[in-house]
Structures are given as structure tokens and as C-alpha cells.
Amino acid sequence: MQQVAVVTGGGSGLGREMAHALAAAGFGVTVTGRTEDRLRETAESAPAEVRTAVLDVADGSAVAAFFGTLDRIDVLVNNAGTGAPAAAVQDVSEQDWRRVVDTNLTGSFLCAQAAFALMLRQDPKGGRIINNGSISAHVPRPQGIAYTASKHAITGLTKGLELEGRAHGITATQIDIGNAATPMTERMAQGVLQPNGSIAAEPTFDPKIVADFVVRIAQLPVDVAVPTLTVMAAGMPYVGRG
């Protein structure tokens, strides 16, 4: 029986790489995202069939409707996420805060909740939920408090899923990624703000490496759990950041 994987935020960047890698490994993959054209590009450039579904993960009724179309799910990759314009704490707008938290945290919870319920009902039951954390789940960047808070919260979400899934063959993984070379990190080459106030370029690495890790985790035996994994560009400021 072909295993089924869902990748949220699959219209570009890491999500696209993850979807392509899972499809190449033989999974039946569906990618979701808010932009139909980008999802179509992911499907058309995939090495094997990839299905698409337009979905805003922050919309609870839409999430429930989407997961209601699935007969089973073996792997959920919670990859959808967004950031906010760089701003000091006192200048962060409530709108930006809520938008980041709604997508990064609430959206991840809603998708995980729906997948978890399906994993409990299906036969055989069980599955894997892989949450895209971030280096910012451990240490902040300057002027990024909304993103940092949302990614710290992903750690609690992942641990809660892992604990409650333990008796049902459901495992949860948080993969923390630092400076994978995607459109989101292009600015790293020009230089980004450092905690000491300077601007410095930072190294990046091939996002296909992240996708390979996701496939490896997805293919592990059901009696193996990977609670956390950190993969980042060598030499990027992380240990001791700040």
C-alpha cells in the first residue's frame, strides 16, 4: 500500500523540495498552499505525481474540509509559515503578530489535530507529524519577536503531539533548519542584522539536504522516533547567538 504524505506550504522553497523528494521516494504526495499557480508549478516540476490543494492553514473550517477528503495519512509535514517585517518590540503591529502566530502556530496545530484524528481512525493506525521549526525555536534574531515566539511554541506543540501519540503509533518530529538556500534566505548573502548591531553576510546550504532528511524520517520503522533534528549551514551564527 502506497504511503500518503501531505506537505503544507508546498508552493515554493523548502516545501517544494520536500514534496519532490517524498514523491521521488514513492509516497503519494499532496501539497497545499494559498497560491494555486505556485502549487501547479510544484506539481509540474515534480519527479512523480504530486496532487495539489489550495488551503489556508489558519482557516479551521478549510483545514477540516481538506483533511476530510483523505482516506488516510502516513506523514504530515507542517511546513507552512510566514514572517513579519523586521521591527523592534515596541513597533510590532498587532496585525503582524496575529498573522504570524495564526499561520505558524495555529495553522500547524489545526493541521496536526486533523491529521492526528485521522491517524487514530485509519487501519493500520499511526503515522508521523514533522513540524518545521527553526533555529529561531532556540535563539532569536533581532527584530523578529513574532516569528521567534511562534517557533518556540512549535517546540511545545511537537512535544505534546509526541506524548499524546505515544500510545497510538503516532510520532512527532521538530526539524530546525538554519539558512537553507531558498528565496526567503536570499537576503543572507547581502547581509543581515546581527545581535551586536552589525550587518553581516551568512552562509546558506542546499535545501535538498533538508528534503533528504524529511524522507529519511518518513521512511523510518514505526518503532523509531526522532523528536528533534537540527540541520544548518556550517558557520552560521547559532551557538552563542546573541
Which residues belong to the active site? 147
Please state, as a whole number, how many other Cβ atoms lie within 10 Å of the Cβ of residue 88: 9
DSSP for 137-165 reads GTSPPTT-HHHHHHHHHHHHHHHHHHHHH
- The answer to whether the CB of 118 falls within 8 A of the CB of 74 is no
Nearest partner of 211 among 2, 69, 29, 89, judged by Cα: 29
Residues near 108 by beta carbon (within 8 Å), at least 6 away in sequence: 57, 78, 80, 131, 154, 157
Q: And the C-alpha cell for 117?
A: 484524528
Going by the DSSP 8-state scheme, the letter that residue 229 receives in this structure is: E
Amino acid at 126: G
- The answer to whether the CB of 158 falls within 8 A of the CB of 173 is yes
